[in-house]
Amino acid sequence: MSRGRLLVYLLRRDLRVSDNPVLHHLVTTSDHGFTHLLPVYVFPANQVEVSGFLKDGEQSPYPPARSQVGKFWRCGPHRAKFTAETVWDMKKNLEDLGSGLLIRIGTAKDVVNHLVQEMKETVTSVGGVWMTEEPSWEEAQEQESISLLCSEKEIEFKLWKDEKYFIDDRDNGLESPEGLPDVFTTYRKSQEPLREKPRKVLSKPGESSLPAMPQNGFIPAQAHPFVSPSSLEDLQKRLAKPLQNMMCNPPHRPENATDGHPFSGGETSAWERLRHSAKSGALTSYKETRNGLVGTDYSTKLSGYLALGCLTARQIHEELLKLEDGTDEQYKDAVGYGEGENDGTKGIRFELLWRDYMRLCTAKFGRKLFRLSGFRQQDGSYNKKWKTATEKIADPEQDPPPSQISKILERFQNGTTGMGLVDASQRELYHTGYTSNRARQNVASFLSKHLQIDWRYGAEWYEMMLTDYDVSSNWANWQYVAGVGNDPRGDARTFNPIKQAFDYDIEGTFVRMWMAELQGLDKLENVFQVCTTEAAELESCGLSENIMVTDPVKKIEFYVDRKPRATRRVYNKRRGHPRGGRWLGNSKNQYHSGSGMSSEAAANESTSTLGVDAETRDRDRKAREAQQFHDTTWRGNYTGGLPMNMHVHGGRGWQGGDQSRGRGNVGHFSGSWRPHGQRGGFRGRYPFIPQMPYAQFPGGAQ
């Protein structure tokens, strides 16, 4: 019998059969030189905890898959489930084409080495290994290790350019990632008009068009000491097994809380979601709804699918074209059908370009993606002192000490800081694996700017908890909001979470839904910062002894009628701020610890988090008739949308305001506006403040 030549196709974040450059090449090229194809997906032991796949009584040869700074699991239960569904859907889709998928546990290098060794004497020995390129540091290291292994074994190795992005790398005009502008708007302008940029989608392989799978008898079993999953249910169970008890005091899920991301993983579900968004009008209305906090259709919720490569950005673009041009009858009843590009579809393209930009930043800056000082800080010149819970690296004069920061981080994670929007988002994230882009920006700003805690704790927490985690979008956006990334304004841009709650949770629906204990409060200012509630109401709602009231992690004063709202406890104030401003807050303008000591305690769909540029944000603000009150003692305090002057100063002179440029991990957020008059549940008179021009600055991720 003549020997065949087997191609191992290592899948990672290209889990789709449509618009897949590797599969398309194998189908359309007759001289690729392989008689058999073995698609393989490896659950990587350095990024996913794999001890649930161990045989009884065995120990893992790999260290626990925990993060560097916070020591969190690197993949939490929500993403583990979503990934399992995605992998199993890919397996089914390949089987429908007459192929299949081998699921393995370990590292890609160990799995390939085992296949090569075990199959070298069979009729289908391994003759080549192909995989698509990923720019992030760990994936690049993995690519290099496979390349070296193949070289040692004298096996062909090929690294394919992945084509899941909006604008192909061959078309963006960059000779190398080093030529990428450090400001998104500059890059965006170089790529416009965006509607004309993406390449055509590659066709899906036909049934039996791929090289044959090796017979089961020639495929070696999973290497010791692990076992292979026998079903989707078994796969999910084994992935979830080590992830029990992630928190000491997890938040309770309210009975009326709804899941904003109830979607299954996989290419099949991705197409269902995309077509639903087009038919329902969600793509057309995207601009008006993207800042939402509650529901499933305020944003596209495609970020998780984009992150795993179940769907490509140019596939989304192609469906937008069908809707805009009126060329697909399945969308004939949708709003905007045949009416050309509109604000909603244009906004989605901006967001897809932002994902491209974040990925290119990863390629440009490499390991700096994970560095405390960020992308743009010069080596040796960065001296900012971030708060940390790690004793051995903390500044000797850190206040509060690491032990208190550890307690603050626990409260940040379980949603008991006393800041309503932040806490509601953290509880939603814990229970569903998802939270809106608007919420993500506020969470990131709160941790990094208001509390001045090492932003990497937040980035790692999101890595564990988010279903739609994407390494580039998550880490680059956390850098952006923390002021160490590619935001030209750096530290000068800070979100005021109370004002943001008034802007985007107009009736308090989101915060009340996830913070059941606050549902009895009448006034929105109390819902958004419970420590401002009068003693009698706290008593009637059973909140008098709640830690969010007795010991809020951070107190932020905000102004109504140009006077600060009274709080239950007197604030200590002092003057002499080094930047000419004034301090508002408790002693040292820091936050409180449980012991009474002064202490300090941020991705898709995008979705992705998709992002938006300066012009888009400005149009949004003008549409809302934003009003700004200018005070030269404060730096860039934007109050767009609410005729309320709110200034919040932290220990470094940061102040509140709607400086919403930071981009979240995914991106479609939505919301509704009532720019004039009182908000629902709000008590008090709004003063008249004359409208003044505001400086242009880019907006947040969509």
Q: Residues annotated as binding site?
A: 286, 299-303, 468-470
The token pair that represents 67 in the structure block: 């993060």
Q: Which residues define the annotated binding site for FAD?
A: 286, 299-303, 468-470
> Helices marked H in 281-419 — which ranges?
286-289, 303-307, 313-325, 343-365, 402-414
**613/49 Cα distance (integer angstroms):** 37
Supply the angle between the helices 77-96 and 232-240 in degrees, to the nearest 10: 160
Instruction: Enter the tokens of residue 482.
Output: 């923390």
CA–CA gap between residue 97 and residue 147 (Å, rounded): 29
Give CA–CA dist 16/302, Å, rounded. 14
Query: Which phi and psi (to 5°) does residue 425 adopt?
Result: -65, -45
DSSP string, 91-136: HHHHHHTT---EEEEE-HHHHHHHHHHHHTTSSEEEEEEEEE---S
Interhelix angle for 77-96 vs 267-280, to 10°? 100
Query: For residue 125, what are the β-bridge partners?
Result: 5
- Cα–Cα distance measured from residue 348 to residue 195, given in angstroms and rounded to the nearest whole number: 11
Omega into 214 within 30° of 0, i.e. cis? Answer: no
> For the sheet containing 102-106, what is the strand order?
102-106, 36-44, 4-11, 124-132, 156-160
Classified as helix, coil or strand, 66 is strand
Which residue, among 543, 551, 548, has the nearest Cα to 528 in the 3D structure? 548
**1 to each of 4, 78, 122, 123, 124, how far by Cα in Å?**
9, 48, 11, 8, 11
How do 4-11 and 36-44 pair as beta strands?
parallel
User: CA-to-CA distance for 25 and 270, rounded, in angstroms?
Assistant: 23
Can you tell me the distance from the alpha carbon of 67 to that of 72, in angstroms, rounded to the nearest whole number? 5
Residue showing tokens 């999910």: 236
Question: What gap in Å lies between CA 195 and CA 533, rounded to an integer?
Answer: 50
State how far the Cα of 180 lies from the Cα of 393, in Å rounded to an integer: 34
Of 385, 403, 391, nearest to 453 (Cα)?
385
Cα separation of 69 and 47, whole Å? 14
Q: Are strands 124-132 and 559-560 parallel, antiparallel or unpaired?
A: unpaired
Amino acid (1-letter code) at residue 475: W
Residues 6+ apart with CB under 8 A from 299: 282, 286, 289, 290, 292, 436, 437, 605, 607, 666, 667, 668, 669, 670, 702
Question: How many residues belong to the chain?
Answer: 702
Strand partners, 130: 9, 158
Return the residue matching tokens 């499933």: 296
d(CA 142, CA 116): 17
